[in-house]
């Protein structure tokens, strides 16, 4: 068994009680438990110390349990207000502390935080089970559910009730004691395994640095990539040298430009092997156990497989519907990828190379073909995409669409010096929320890009609570004195996460469990992916893409070339994504996956669908963090949402105005501010007047019959 979690012995009860008592003492004066008197009640990051989390959590767990018991044991017969709304209000101290902790654990971790994470993950699972397996409480919720239509609930209340009821059913509240006990044990074990999985990926990422020692190691790298690599080396203690890490913003430009095939192979192999390096950080056995437990849980709950269980409450509804969409895209994408590969192989031959295109060659030769065919050089575009310019563009588009303004606040506490805070206000000057950004890669940060929150919007009480939202990315910093420069992909990522942020910030609902981004998993990527469309539009690029030295706008000729090259390499991008989505779905569609061999499973699945070896999956199983967390059986969600985002942006294009006020209004009312208060299909129809078909997506990716070929 990899890692120490499984074999750690339980502490004797006496020692544990003593520890709790001493924690209680520490809790006095603990800023995590005191009221937050900061502006907007932003977490007092400057006063929180790592060792304060456990005692604060002890208090918060106990407080939540007491609140829950009061709801469960009250004399009054169940009403929506005294049971469901009361459940929504309970546990706010716990949520507040957990949000601070989870964000720190993901963005600026250390050994202390990692140890706390390993301790509390199973405790959270146990706590959740204690609540959702509570028989008395379930009987109250179930009585309301049985009488749902007679309660006179609003659509939002009705969905909130359904969500709570589902949480109880999914915890096994309706099952016998033996099944409940087993489900509780599974939940705790899964929580421990998930934490270990994530920590292992981070460990493998921290472990690898490719130091570029000599000028020949830098061959092919343009100025901006060199500057970023110099900055990375300085941060890793190799000042005066250059370095590449496994952060996407570091390794992708390297693979794209480095003419050193041997170094590309080295970096690419390390990237692909994260979580599969043998030894203490190997994730393959962990994944096998996770899947086995999930399958068992699904069976206990009466589902055939865990994919069936996961999809019951989604727009897609069934694995068969997901597979239908994925295969509809897969076939033309693979055909396109084959053409692309032939072009790359031709480029290798032209150069006098005598080898077959491998995984570590694709990005490099794709860049050459792109340059030859469209005369677009990523290195030529980058100096126009300063980080601050792209942030300004994101703010400006939000202003034009939704009337919100952003003002930086330097007086608020932050958890890291690179973090920035912005107050968001509405057209009427009303406070909308707080937007926090944390854009640069560092060794203490998880890889990838995501949107998270420190507080969600709700109107449970007289005083409305407005959200605090954070966007986290892993961009490479610029050279000292020079701004950080983004690739088009980076800029799109920034807009993507900012779209999620808007979804949380603009939220206008009453109940917490449908607030902001708390929508069906395959609907949640609609606001984020839709927002990406604006940064790719010439109107926005013309205004905000300015050369960091000269201040000159992106030349019109370059802009046209970018536009023409938009569908370039989409075969590759679609294949690497869909391959990963199919592997995710197949992994969770196994009725019995005892003894899963992750490597063999990948090979077998990719072979069956005829995936090209030199493309591979966007995330291999041993570091596929999406499917360890909430995207399990749901990695397809990006594509499901893309069906809608492609169709939704068309509405603006058809109107001839990408900021059309009437369409923007509908988008705000039915999508960005509506959280999960409506059925997603109904919400989409209210916005667009109809549901979309996959054709818009195929067109967008240039994969439709007769679509533009790159
Ligand atoms: Zn997203």
pLDDT reported for residue 236: 87
For the segment 235-277, what is each residue's pLDDT rounded down to a tens digit?
A: 888 899 999 999 888 899 999 999 999 999 999 999 999 999 9
pLDDT reported for residue 685: 97
Across 669-685, average pLDDT = 97
How many angstroms separate the alpha carbon of residue 79 from the centre of ligand 1?
Answer: 36
How many angstroms separate the alpha carbon of residue 448 from the centre of ligand 1?
Answer: 11
Please determine, for residue 486, whether its predicted confidence score (pLDDT) is greater than 50: yes
> How many angstroms separate the Cα of 3 from the Cα of each of 196, 280, 284?
7, 6, 12
Task: pLDDT band for 20, please (50, 70, 90 cuts).
Answer: low
> How many angstroms separate the Cα of 464 from the Cα of each of 432, 435, 457, 509, 559?
11, 17, 8, 10, 44
Query: Pick the residue with more confidence: 594 or 139?
Result: 139
SS3 at position 221: coil
Task: pLDDT band for 707, please (50, 70, 90 cuts).
Answer: very low
Please determine, for residue 9, whether its predicted confidence score (pLDDT) is greater than 70: no
CB 704 within 8 A of CB 698: yes
For residues 640 and 390, give the distance between their C-alpha atoms in angstroms, rounded to a whole number: 27
Across 365-376, average pLDDT = 91
Q: Output DSSP code: residue 38.
A: S
For the segment 398-435, what is each residue's pLDDT rounded down to a tens digit?
A: 999 999 999 999 999 999 999 999 999 999 999 999 99
pLDDT reported for residue 3: 31
Please determine, for residue 595, whether its predicted confidence score (pLDDT) is greater than 90: no
Please determine, for residue 281, whether its predicted confidence score (pLDDT) is greater than 90: yes
pLDDT reported for residue 5: 33
Please determine, for residue 25, whether its predicted confidence score (pLDDT) is greater than 80: no
For residues 405 and 395, give the distance between their C-alpha atoms in angstroms, rounded to a whole number: 7
Query: Pick the residue with more confidence: 148 or 16?
Result: 148
How many angstroms separate the alpha carbon of residue 587 from the centre of ligand 1?
Answer: 22
Please determine, for residue 129, whether its predicted confidence score (pLDDT) is greater than 90: yes
How many angstroms separate the alpha carbon of residue 214 from the centre of ligand 1?
Answer: 39
What is the CA angle 625-628-632, rounded to 5?
110
CB 649 within 8 A of CB 531: no
pLDDT reported for residue 709: 39
pLDDT reported for residue 8: 36
pLDDT reported for residue 307: 96
For residues 38 and 468, give the distance between their C-alpha atoms in angstroms, rounded to a whole number: 13
> How many angstroms separate the Cα of 60 from the Cα of each of 24, 66, 226, 309?
11, 10, 48, 31
Give catalytic status of residue 653 as yes or no: no
How many angstroms separate the alpha carbon of residue 577 from the centre of ligand 1?
Answer: 14
For residues 73 and 86, give the distance between their C-alpha atoms in angstroms, rounded to a whole number: 13
Which helix or strand (DSSP H or E) is residue 439 part of? strand 431-440
Across 72-88, average pLDDT = 97
pTM of the model: 0.91
How many angstroms separate the alpha carbon of residue 630 from the centre of ligand 1?
Answer: 12
pLDDT reported for residue 10: 43
Query: Pick the residue with more confidence: 98 or 24?
Result: 98
pLDDT reported for residue 267: 97
For the segment 219-238, what is each residue's pLDDT rounded down to a tens digit?
A: 999 988 999 899 999 988 88
CB atoms within 10 A of CB 330: 21
N-to-C CA span, the chain: 48
Q: What is the mean pLDDT of the chain?
A: 93
Q: Output DSSP code: residue 351.
A: T
Task: pLDDT band for 7, please (50, 70, 90 cuts).
Answer: very low
Alpha helices in 236-276 (DSSP H): 248-257, 261-272
For residues 695 and 710, give the distance between their C-alpha atoms in angstroms, rounded to a whole number: 19
For the segment 601-622, what is each residue's pLDDT rounded down to a tens digit?
A: 999 999 999 999 999 899 999 9
Report the relative pairing of strands 242-244 and 420-425 from DSSP bridges: unpaired
How many angstroms separate the alpha carbon of residue 698 from the centre of ligand 1?
Answer: 20
Q: Output DSSP code: residue 437.
A: E
Annotate 393-427 with b (16+ C-beta within 10 A) or e (fewer): bbbbbbeebbbbbbeebeebbbbeebbbbbbbeee
Q: Output DSSP code: residue 477.
A: P
How many angstroms separate the alpha carbon of residue 493 from the centre of ligand 1?
Answer: 9
How many angstroms separate the alpha carbon of residue 100 from the centre of ligand 1?
Answer: 21
> How many angstroms separate the Cα of 24 from the Cα of each of 15, 58, 683?
14, 8, 47
Given 289, 497, 520, 532, which residue is catalytic?
497
Task: pLDDT band for 26, please (50, 70, 90 cuts).
Answer: low
For the segment 502-560, what is each residue's pLDDT rounded down to a tens digit?
A: 999 999 999 999 999 999 999 999 999 999 999 999 999 999 999 999 999 999 999 99
How many angstroms separate the alpha carbon of residue 357 from the centre of ligand 1?
Answer: 31
How many angstroms separate the alpha carbon of residue 11 from the centre of ligand 1?
Answer: 40
pLDDT reported for residue 22: 62
Across 486-507, average pLDDT = 96
Name residue 706's beta-bridge partners. Answer: none
Across 59-75, average pLDDT = 97
For residues 355 and 349, give the distance between their C-alpha atoms in angstroms, rounded to a whole number: 8
Name residue 386's beta-bridge partners. Answer: 485
For the segment 682-699, what is each residue's pLDDT rounded down to a tens digit?
A: 999 999 999 998 888 999
What proportion of the chain, given as a percentage, has pLDDT over 70?
95
Lowest mean pLDDT among 21-35, 41-55, 377-391, 667-681: 21-35
Task: pLDDT band for 153, please (50, 70, 90 cuts).
Answer: very high
Please determine, for residue 160, whether its predicted confidence score (pLDDT) is greater than 60: yes
């Amino acid at each position: 068994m990899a890692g120490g979690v499984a074999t750690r012995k339980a502490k004797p009860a006496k020692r544990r009680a003593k520890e709790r008592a001493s924690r209680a003492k520490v809790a006095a004066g603990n800023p995590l438990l005191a009221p937050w008197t900061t502006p907007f009640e932003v977490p007092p990051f400057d006063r929180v110390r790592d060792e304060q989390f456990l005692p604060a959590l002890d208090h918060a767990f106990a407080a939540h349990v007491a609140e829950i018991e009061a709801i469960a044991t009250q004399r009054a017969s169940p009403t929506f207000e005294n049971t469901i709304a009361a459940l929504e209000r309970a546990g706010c101290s716990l949520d507040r502390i957990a949000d601070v902790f989870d964000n720190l654990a993901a963005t600026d971790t250390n050994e202390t935080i990692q140890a706390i994470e390993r301790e509390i993950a199973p405790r959270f699972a146990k706590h959740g089970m204690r609540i959702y397996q509570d028989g008395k409480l379930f009987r109250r919720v179930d009585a309301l559910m049985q009488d749902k239509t007679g309660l006179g609930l609003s659509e939002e209340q009705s969905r909130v009730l359904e969500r709570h009821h589902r949480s109880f059913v999914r915890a096994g509240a309706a099952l016998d004691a033996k099944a409940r006990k087993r489900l509780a044990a599974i939940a705790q074990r899964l929580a421990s395994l998930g934490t270990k999985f994530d920590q292992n990926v981070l460990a493998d990422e921290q472990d690898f640095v490719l130091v570029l020692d000599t000028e020949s190691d830098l061959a092919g790298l343009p100025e901006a990539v060199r500057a970023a690599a110099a900055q990375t080396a300085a941060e890793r203690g190799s000042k005066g040298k250059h370095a590449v890490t496994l952060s996407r913003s570091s390794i992708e430009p390297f693979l794209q430009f480095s003419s050193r095939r041997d170094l590309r192979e080295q970096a690419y192999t390390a990237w692909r092997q994260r979580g599969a390096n043998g030894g203490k950080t190997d994730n393959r056995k962990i994944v096998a156990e996770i899947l086995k437990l999930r399958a068992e849980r699904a069976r206990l709950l009466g589902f055939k497989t865990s994919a069936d269980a996961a999809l019951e409450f989604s727009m897609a509804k069934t694995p068969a519907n997901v597979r239908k969409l994925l295969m509809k895209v897969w076939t033309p994408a693979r055909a396109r990828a084959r053409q692309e590969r032939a072009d790359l192989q031709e480029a290798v031959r032209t150069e006098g190379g005598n080898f077959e295109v491998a995984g570590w060659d694709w990005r490099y030769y794709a860049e050459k073909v792109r340059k030859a065919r469209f005369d677009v050089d990523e290195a030529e575009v980058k100096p126009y995409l300063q980080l601050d310019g792209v942030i300004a563009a994101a703010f400006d588009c939000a202003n034009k669409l939704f009337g919100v303004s952003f003002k930086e606040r330097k007086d608020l506490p932050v958890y890291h010096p690179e973090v920035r805070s912005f107050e968001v206000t509405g057209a009427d000057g009303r406070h909308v929320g707080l937007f926090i950004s944390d854009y640069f890669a560092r060794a203490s940060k998880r890889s990838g890009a995501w949107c998270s929150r420190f507080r969600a919007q709700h109107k449970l009480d007289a005083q409305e609570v407005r959200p605090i939202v954070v966007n986290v990315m892993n961009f490479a910093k610029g050279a000292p004195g020079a701004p950080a420069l983004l690739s088009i992909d980076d800029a799109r990522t920034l807009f993507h996460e900012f779209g999620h942020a808007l979804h949380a910030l603009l939220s206008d609902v009453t109940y917490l469990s449908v607030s902001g981004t708390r929508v069906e998993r395959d609907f949640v990527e609609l606001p984020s992916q839709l927002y990406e469309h604006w940064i790719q539009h010439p109107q926005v690029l013309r205004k905000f893409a300015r050369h960091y030295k000269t201040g000159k706008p992106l030349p019109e000729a370059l802009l046209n070339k970018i536009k023409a090259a938009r569908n370039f390499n989409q075969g590759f991008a679609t294949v690497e994504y869909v391959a990963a989505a199919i592997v995710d779905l197949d992994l969770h569609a196994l009725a019995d996956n005892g003894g899963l061999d992750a490597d063999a499973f990948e090979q077998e699945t990719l072979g069956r669908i005829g995936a090209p070896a030199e493309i591979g999956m966007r995330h291999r199983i041993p570091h596929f963090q999406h499917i360890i967390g909430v995207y399990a059986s749901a990695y397809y969600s990006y594509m499901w949402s893309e069906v809608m985002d492609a169709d939704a942006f068309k509405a603006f294009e058809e109107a001839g105005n990408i900021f059309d006020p009437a369409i923007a209004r509908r988008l705000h009312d039915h999508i960005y501010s509506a959280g999960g208060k409506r059925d997603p299909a109904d919400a989409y129809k209210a916005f667009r007047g109809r549901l979309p078909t996959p054709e818009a997506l195929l067109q967008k990716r240039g994969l439709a019959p007769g679509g533009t070929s790159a």
